[in-house]
Amino acid sequence: MGAINSVLQEHRVFEPSAETVSRATISGMAAYKALCAEAEADYSGYWERLAREHLSWKTPFTKGLNDSNAPFFKWFEDGTLNASYNCLDRNLENGNAEKDAIIFEADDGKVRRVTYRELHALVCRFANGLKSRGIKKGDRVVIYLPMSVEGVAAMLACARIGATHSVVFGGFSAKSLQERIEDAGAVAVITADEQCRGGKNIPLKSVVDEALGMEGTGSIHTVIVYQRTGTPQKTVEGRDVWLHELLAQQAEQCEPEWVGAEHPLFLLYTSGSTGKPKGVQHSTGGYLLHAVLTMKWTFDLKPEDVFWCTADIGWVTGHTYITYGPLACGGTEIVFEGVPTFPDAGRFWKMIQDHKVSIFYTAPTAIRSLIKAADVTASVHPRNYNLSSLRLLGSVGEPINPEAWMWYYENIGGARCPIVDTFWQTETGGHMITPLPGVTPLVPGSCTLPFPGIQAAIVDETGNDVEWGKGGFLVVKKPWPSMIRNIWGDPERFKKSYYPVDFSGKLYLAGDGAVRDATTGYFTIMGRIDDVLNVSGHRLGTMEVESALVANPLVAEAAVVGRPDDLTGEAIVAFVVLKQARPTGETAKAFAKQLQDWVAKEIGPIAKPKDIRFGDNLPKTRSGKIMRRLLRAVAKGEEIVQDVSTLENPGILDQLKQSI
Ligand code: PRX
């Protein structure tokens, strides 16, 4: 963990303004400390109190944490509730029926407003439609939809009938979709004819057809298709049904299926360091509790706010901060179909202006690319837009570099909006380490302090706490309500990944390196310590990309590493040995392009290697192990200072240093 000790020294501190403190739900450091102390004194009792106050239960639970089968923890397990009831019905009951739940803006700029009453009716009809197709509690339903009201409604309709949804990001390939369908044993897919992004129509239904043509998808009996663009589609008799036709036959009332708090609300596939993506299984009660609490405390959501999380529902950020969190709090939110650069790179700023967005949550990659665009084209600079409606900004998905933080703070937030740099993961369900706007003095590049009740810590290889100022492994010492419950169908992998024996099986291992500031104790995340890459805030396993490459008939061997990238945070560099002679010059370029397209087809465009290098071989030890640390140095263009005496074939490094 040597590198982690040399953390950048950041001395700028931004205290919360008096106005922010006075309006905040958690107001002042004393209030934060009081919550932490309450959790310290009675851990389960603390979460029980919050779960009673913030969620609507059908049957109240009698107990919070059950740790009798650690690390398979349970929370509130004898309570029953329904997530869609919490997001919809209770808003109808408490005066929000005519309030906008969703302001949808399409790729082409068309706006559609949906009230809570309308969303409730849509979800009920959708849920009845699912039931009419024989889909029932406990079934898994794959959702492969664009950003849309229907996407959010599909998730809530599954929740309403107790079906477990598994959303697959619309950018994933047929093969990735097939793998997820098979692993989940899904019975239905909900998709659209096409999606619209950046002025282009991109197929979805035909990708589903391709996936369902592959082996292992025989469990699917229904495909529901939302007509987005109207481009004619092939349909399979008996299997495929248009969403509008299905909805037309359904009643607007649907009694929620009351499920136990531990009932799996969703599976979401994410990359690990080895093997295929893992189906992260989340609960209903504990997950929803954290979604609500973090909306209220981190984002300080108030009834008059317009909240905009720019993530896609295909990622966990879209689950917690588009579908469940904002709606369970009765908020008004933006759902955006398009991309930040269409029709130009001022799109986000124009939308904030048009919809008077007050809370804006995005990823550092987006900020960095928009900084660049504004530098080049003055007309898309945020100064051209009225952003005065903003009062709070958020960042998620990857470390935010202090320069990007300062630009965001000054140019978007007008030096008046706090930035919450929220550290969390697919597995954690919601924010783990984050500033609270009315509490925490901000330091650019630091996610600051744990959310009240979260026992985050930094330990060494043996699981002992390291001193502040020293780097180590980020862990969580106690189970928390919204944590991952299992890896779908693979409890052994769950234990090995998150509760490894190295830490006596008692600490949740996040997989990130981190360090705490020597005086303030603030956390700074240093990045993954495993073979997981973070490209534009998207998580990818090096093994996944390697497997995709070696599946190509031309490829004999491949090794993939990450390299820091100014725009995407990390970029993928692939070292490839072909079955034929090592290509050079134009031939190498043509092969590289072919392999990039291949990876896009195997996994999705997000996994395309940025740089491909060809060698006669890969650097290996005499026992045949690929020396990845050398490849990382080569990828970064660093001088090789490492000891290469154990290397079987040192000459190979010179070949691999040559980019094409
Ligand atoms: O490495 C951390 C990084 O993203 C990983 C989790 O990725 P994923 O499960 O796809 O979830 C992303 C959205 C929650 C983490 O292990 N990460 C996430 N947020 C931050 C971060 N790194 C630094 N700072 C953050 N705020």
Distance from the alpha carbon of residue 396 to the mean position of ligand 1, in angstroms:
7
Measured CA to CA, the distance from residue 127 to residue 257 in angstroms comes to 10
Q: Is the shortest distance between the CB of 271 and ligand 1 below 6 Å?
A: no
Q: What is the CA radius of gyration of the chain?
A: 24
Average pLDDT across the chain, whole number: 95
Q: Is the shortest distance between the CB of 512 and ligand 1 below 6 Å?
A: yes
Measured CA to CA, the distance from residue 479 to residue 80 in angstroms comes to 21
pLDDT at position 9, please?
64
Q: Is the shortest distance between the CB of 394 and ligand 1 below 6 Å?
A: no
Q: Which two tokens stand for residue 203?
A: 């197929």
Query: For the residues 398-425, what does the mean pLDDT come to?
Result: 97
Residues 6+ apart with CB under 8 A from 99: 91, 115, 116, 330, 332
452-509 tens-digit pLDDT: 999 999 999 999 999 999 999 999 999 999 999 999 999 999 999 999 998 888 999 9
Listed range (43-52, 222-231, 569-578, 633-642) with the worst mean pLDDT:
633-642
Distance from the alpha carbon of residue 434 to the mean position of ligand 1, in angstroms:
12
Q: Is the shortest distance between the CB of 448 and ligand 1 below 6 Å?
A: no
Taking the mean position of all CA atoms in its chain, how far away is CA 400? 16
Q: Is the shortest distance between the CB of 178 and ligand 1 below 6 Å?
A: no
By three-state DSSP, how is residue 576 classified? strand
Query: Is it true that the peptide bond before 444 is cis, omega within 30 degrees of 0?
Result: no
Q: Which two tokens stand for residue 52?
A: 């009673």
Q: Which residues pair with 281 in a beta bridge?
A: 267, 486
Q: Ligand 1, closest atom to CA 427?
A: 9
Residue whose entry in the numeric block shows the structure tokens 């009351």: 258
> Is a pLDDT exceeding 70 seen at residue 510?
yes
Cβ pair 353, 385 in contact under 8 A: yes
pLDDT at position 214, please?
97
Measured CA to CA, the distance from residue 273 to residue 431 in angstroms comes to 22
pLDDT at position 8, please?
52
Distance from the alpha carbon of residue 535 to the mean position of ligand 1, in angstroms:
11
Q: Ligand 1, closest atom to CA 315?
A: 10
pLDDT at position 642, please?
74
Q: Is the shortest distance between the CB of 614 and ligand 1 below 6 Å?
A: no
> Is a pLDDT exceeding 50 seen at residue 5?
no
Cβ pair 394, 325 in contact under 8 A: no
Q: Is the shortest distance between the CB of 361 and ligand 1 below 6 Å?
A: no
Q: Is the shortest distance between the CB of 613 and ligand 1 below 6 Å?
A: no
Q: Is the shortest distance between the CB of 425 and ligand 1 below 6 Å?
A: yes
By three-state DSSP, how is residue 56 classified? coil
> Is a pLDDT exceeding 80 seen at residue 263?
yes
Distance from the alpha carbon of residue 562 to the mean position of ligand 1, in angstroms:
16
Q: Is the shortest distance between the CB of 447 and ligand 1 below 6 Å?
A: yes
Closest CA to 614 of 576, 579, 649: 576
355: left (phi over 0), alpha (psi -120 to 50) or beta: alpha
Residues 6+ apart with CB under 8 A from 577: 555, 556, 557, 558, 614, 615, 616, 617, 618
Looking at residue 307, the DSSP 8-state letter turns out to be: E
Measured CA to CA in angstroms, residue 507 lies from 222, 273, 463, 479 at distances of 41, 18, 8, 9
Using CB atoms within 10 A of its CB, is residue 615 exposed (0-12), middle (13-18) or buried (19+)? buried
Using CB atoms within 10 A of its CB, is residue 580 exposed (0-12), middle (13-18) or buried (19+)? exposed
Q: Is the shortest distance between the CB of 311 and ligand 1 below 6 Å?
A: no
Report residue 649's pLDDT band, with 50, 70 and 90 as the boundaries. confident
Report residue 273's pLDDT band, with 50, 70 and 90 as the boundaries. confident
pLDDT at position 446, please?
97
> Is a pLDDT exceeding 70 seen at residue 533?
yes
Query: What's this model's pTM, rounded to 2 decimal places?
Result: 0.96
397: left (phi over 0), alpha (psi -120 to 50) or beta: left
By three-state DSSP, how is residue 601 classified? helix
216-243 tens-digit pLDDT: 999 999 999 999 999 999 999 999 999 9
Q: How many residues does the chain have?
A: 660
Q: Which two tokens stand for residue 281?
A: 């299984």
**Phi/psi of residue 571, nearest 5 degrees:** -125, 150
Q: Is the shortest distance between the CB of 429 and ligand 1 below 6 Å?
A: no
pLDDT at position 2, please?
34
Q: Is the shortest distance between the CB of 369 and ligand 1 below 6 Å?
A: no
Measured CA to CA, the distance from residue 270 to residue 171 in angstroms comes to 14
Report residue 1's pLDDT band, with 50, 70 and 90 as the boundaries. very low
Q: Is the shortest distance between the CB of 423 and ligand 1 below 6 Å?
A: yes
Distance from the alpha carbon of residue 511 to the mean position of ligand 1, in angstroms:
10
Q: Is the shortest distance between the CB of 88 and ligand 1 below 6 Å?
A: no
Residue 374 one-letter amino acid: A
In this structure, the residue with its CA closest to atom 26 of ligand 1 is 423
Residue 493 one-letter amino acid: R
pLDDT at position 147, please?
98
Distance from the alpha carbon of residue 102 to the mean position of ligand 1, in angstroms:
26
Closest CA to 612 of 583, 640, 633: 583
Measured CA to CA, the distance from residue 534 to residue 557 in angstroms comes to 23
Q: Ligand 1, closest atom to CA 426?
A: 9
Cβ pair 427, 567 in contact under 8 A: no
Q: Which two tokens stand for residue 573?
A: 């560099």
pLDDT at position 622, please?
84
> Is a pLDDT exceeding 60 seen at residue 6?
no
| Residue whose CB lies within 8 A of the most ligand 1 atoms, among 425, 440, 447, 524, for a mutation test | 425
Measured CA to CA, the distance from residue 169 to residue 319 in angstroms comes to 11
Q: Ligand 1, closest atom to CA 400?
A: 24
**Phi/psi of residue 612, nearest 5 degrees:** -120, 130
By three-state DSSP, how is residue 631 classified? helix
Distance from the alpha carbon of residue 411 to the mean position of ligand 1, in angstroms:
24
Distance from the alpha carbon of residue 425 to the mean position of ligand 1, in angstroms:
5
Distance from the alpha carbon of residue 397 to the mean position of ligand 1, in angstroms:
4
In this structure, the residue with its CA closest to atom 13 of ligand 1 is 397
List strand residue ranges (DSSP E) for 138-204, in order: 140-144, 164-167, 188-192, 194-197, 200-203
CB atoms under 10 Å from CB of 478, counted, come to 18
Could you tell me whether strands 266-270 and 240-242 are parallel, antiparallel, or unpaired per DSSP bridges?
Answer: unpaired
Q: Which two tokens stand for residue 277?
A: 């993506």
Closest CA to 159 of 126, 182, 192, 188: 126
Q: Is the shortest distance between the CB of 421 and ligand 1 below 6 Å?
A: yes
Distance from the alpha carbon of residue 287 to the mean position of ligand 1, in angstroms:
17
Number of H helices, E strands in the chain: 21, 30
Query: For the residues 322-345, what does the mean pLDDT come to?
Result: 98
pLDDT at position 7, please?
47
| Residue whose CB lies within 8 A of the most ligand 1 atoms, among 4, 424, 427, 440, for a mutation test | 424
Looking at residue 356, the DSSP 8-state letter turns out to be: T
In this structure, the residue with its CA closest to atom 14 of ligand 1 is 425
Q: Is the shortest distance between the CB of 318 and ligand 1 below 6 Å?
A: no
Q: Is the shortest distance between the CB of 534 and ligand 1 below 6 Å?
A: yes
Residue 102 one-letter amino acid: I
> Is a pLDDT exceeding 70 seen at residue 630?
yes
Query: For the residues 265-281, what does the mean pLDDT come to?
Result: 92
155-214 tens-digit pLDDT: 999 999 999 999 999 999 999 999 999 999 999 999 999 999 999 999 999 999 999 999
Report residue 447's pLDDT band, with 50, 70 and 90 as the boundaries. very high
| Residue whose CB lies within 8 A of the most ligand 1 atoms, among 534, 540, 570, for a mutation test | 534
Q: Is the shortest distance between the CB of 312 and ligand 1 below 6 Å?
A: no
Report residue 275's pLDDT band, with 50, 70 and 90 as the boundaries. confident
Measured CA to CA, the distance from residue 367 to residue 71 in angstroms comes to 38
Closest CA to 202 of 142, 155, 146: 146
**% pLDDT > 90, the chain:** 92
Q: Ligand 1, closest atom to CA 421?
A: 26
